Structure 1
Amino acid sequence: MNTKVPKLTVVGAGPGDVDLITLKAIKAIELADVILYDALINKALLDYASNDAELIFVGKRKGCYAYQQDQINELIVSRAKSHGHVVRLKGGDPFIFGRGAEEIDYAQQFGLETYVVPGISSAIAVPAYQGIPLTKRGASESFWVITGTTKAHKLSNDVALAAKSTATVVILMGMGKLSEIVKVFSKENKQDTAIAIIQNGTTEYEKFGVGTISNIEKIVAEKQLSSPAIIVIGDVVKERVVLNSIYKEFATA
């Protein structure tokens, strides 16, 4: 009979680079009895898990879901009741388009103790690794972070609102809607606005393309860029600084 307290810790795994993980996240992984992990997390993080921990993949790849969200919710509760401490390991930050709050809401209905460990959001870290500051004096005073695809599988209406502003616009999960995004910004006469697309950001498989609203689709085709990728639109893309390779610098650290 399990005598452990049933609890859920929702943990942000960061944007992909295994070193972009918090100490608190590592401690949670080490103490987990069960880890439910998504497709976009760096699997090297699972090496921190106990040998006795049960590891369950619950993410999706190319539209194929290992589990639907309702099933994940039920799995969290059932494993917490039977095993104790469940860690829900999610890419980036779990409270930024990560359904972390939804899972906590569900778990609390069944009396689970609930905790969250914030993660480094890909919305900020991925552009940074390419030298793109989301804000910079004289270029941008604010930034939007928008999901490219809503629950109804449509482009968020917020993209049109953001296109009217002078802010930097960061779009997650938007590659499938790139043509629509281009049309929205073109409608605001922003064909010459700089745009960057970063695929597999902060990982060794990172690919990068930069251009303007008017030619980005051509660049995406030439460079064969695809999901998972982050779209950054705004003058800050032209303010990109040149960085040395993070992988070379810290490879033997």
Structure 2
Amino acid sequence: MRKLGKVHLVGAGPGDPDLLTVKAARLLSEADAVAYDRLVSDAVMKMVPSRAERVFVGKESGCHHCSQDRINTILLELARRHRTIVRLKGGDPFVFGRGGEEAEYLGRHGVEVVVTPGITSAAACGAATGVPLTHRGLATGVRFVTGHAKADAPLDLNWASLADPDTTLVIYMGLATLPQTSAQLIAHGLPAETPVLAVQNGTTPKERRLLTTLSEAPDALTAACFRPPTLLVIGRVAALADAPTLIAEAEALALSEAAPAFRSVVAGHA
């Protein structure tokens, strides 16, 4: 019986290939097969050798190319055919990447799994925009949460604990549920004027930034045509961002003729 290959759960980082770890780059160069998701940038994928089998297993809210069960099965099938398999995930495989689920499944089927961490988008976007996620006098801690709700269900989060003005709140995959997030945080005591930084396609040439407030964020990001992947940083530290501040233009943004000018301001922060 042929020995099963080894699966490496590798963090591809936020998109800039220069932010890959040395180990991640080495594993890509040695890979016999690479299963990658939609958040892995084209620049990183160019590092995959032409001889390697490539399998796209991308997922996004409301449009699943592959279910998680199918991804698990694909990884097992690749382990049966190849010696070195890289499961390449945007950011870090163990930060909202379902890497734990894949590792558990493969382990139950006798496949050796090795995890190579990557730079998660919270750290990367904070660095790229000049925002320290913790800062003396502004934030004594940071919390990472997902804004993705399964099957359009309401977010089931502990809003009272998240509405802490002394903590930086970073929300992954939170665009679709931002109206609910904004309303709940304000209802549980977080000031409506709390700064919110949105970063789309962070660290890539397509990066866009917008600095707004908690109460105005849903309308502002809709008017600016922000799309996934967008990271949200909520808290006092967000005010330190090197990003356009368009709060004063909220009324103008409602006018259709103002939209092109608005988009031009928020673009071009690579």
Write the mapping of 1:47-196 to structure 2, written as runs, cut at 5 A.
47-61=46-60, 63-151=62-150, 153-187=153-187, 188-196=189-197
Q: CA deviation at 1:4?
A: 6.1
Taking structure 1 as reference, are residues 62 and 164 closer, same or farther at Cα in structure 2, changes over 3 Å only? closer
Q: Give the SS at the match of 2:209.
A: strand
Please tell me whether the aligned partners of residues 5 and 85 of structure 1 are also in contact (alpha carbons under 8 angstroms).
Answer: no
TM-score computed with the length of structure 2 as normaliser: 0.84
Distance in 1 of aligned mates of 2:60 and 2:146: 18
User: Is structure 2 residue 197 aligned with structure 1 residue 222?
Assistant: no
Q: CA deviation at 1:155?
A: 1.7
CA RMSD after TM alignment: 2.1
Moved beyond 6 Å, runs of 4+: none
User: Is structure 2 residue 198 aligned with structure 1 residue 197?
Assistant: yes
Distance in 1 of aligned mates of 2:65 and 2:140: 41
The match for 1:210 is: 211
Please tell me whether the aligned partners of residues 146 and 156 of structure 1 are also in contact (alpha carbons under 8 angstroms).
Answer: no
Please tell me whether the aligned partners of residues 149 and 156 of structure 1 are also in contact (alpha carbons under 8 angstroms).
Answer: no
What whole-Å deviation, never above 9, does each CA across 1:75-133 have from its counterpart, x for those lacking one? 11111112222110000000000011111111111111110100000011112211111
Q: Give the SS at the match of 1:198.
A: strand
Letter in structure 2 aligned against 1:179: P
Letter in structure 1 aligned against 2:127: A
Please tell me whether the aligned partners of residues 195 and 216 of structure 1 are also in contact (alpha carbons under 8 angstroms).
Answer: yes
Please tell me whether the aligned partners of residues 37 and 90 of structure 1 are also in contact (alpha carbons under 8 angstroms).
Answer: yes
Distance in 2 of aligned mates of 1:36 and 1:226: 24
Letter in structure 1 aligned against 2:64: Y
What whole-Å deviation, never above 9, does each CA across 1:40-99 have from its counterpart, x for those lacking one? 101222232233210011102563222111111111111111222211000000000001
Q: Give the SS at the match of 1:171.
A: strand
Please tell me whether the aligned partners of residues 197 and 241 of structure 2 are also in contact (alpha carbons under 8 angstroms).
Answer: no
Q: Give the SS at the match of 1:210.
A: strand
Please tell me whether the aligned partners of residues 173 and 227 of structure 1 are also in contact (alpha carbons under 8 angstroms).
Answer: yes
Distance in 2 of aligned mates of 1:160 and 1:172: 19
Distance in 1 of aligned mates of 2:19 and 2:47: 14
Q: CA deviation at 1:5?
A: 4.7
Letter in structure 2 aligned against 1:25: A
Letter in structure 1 aligned against 2:196: I
Distance in 2 of aligned mates of 1:60 and 1:18: 21
What whole-Å deviation, never above 9, does each CA across 1:202-221 have from its counterpart, x for those lacking one? 11111111111122223213
Distance in 2 of aligned mates of 1:214 and 1:86: 45
Q: Give the SS at the match of 2:18.
A: coil
User: Is structure 2 residue 232 aligned with structure 1 residue 231?
Assistant: yes
Letter in structure 1 aligned against 2:40: I
Q: Give the SS at the match of 1:19.
A: helix
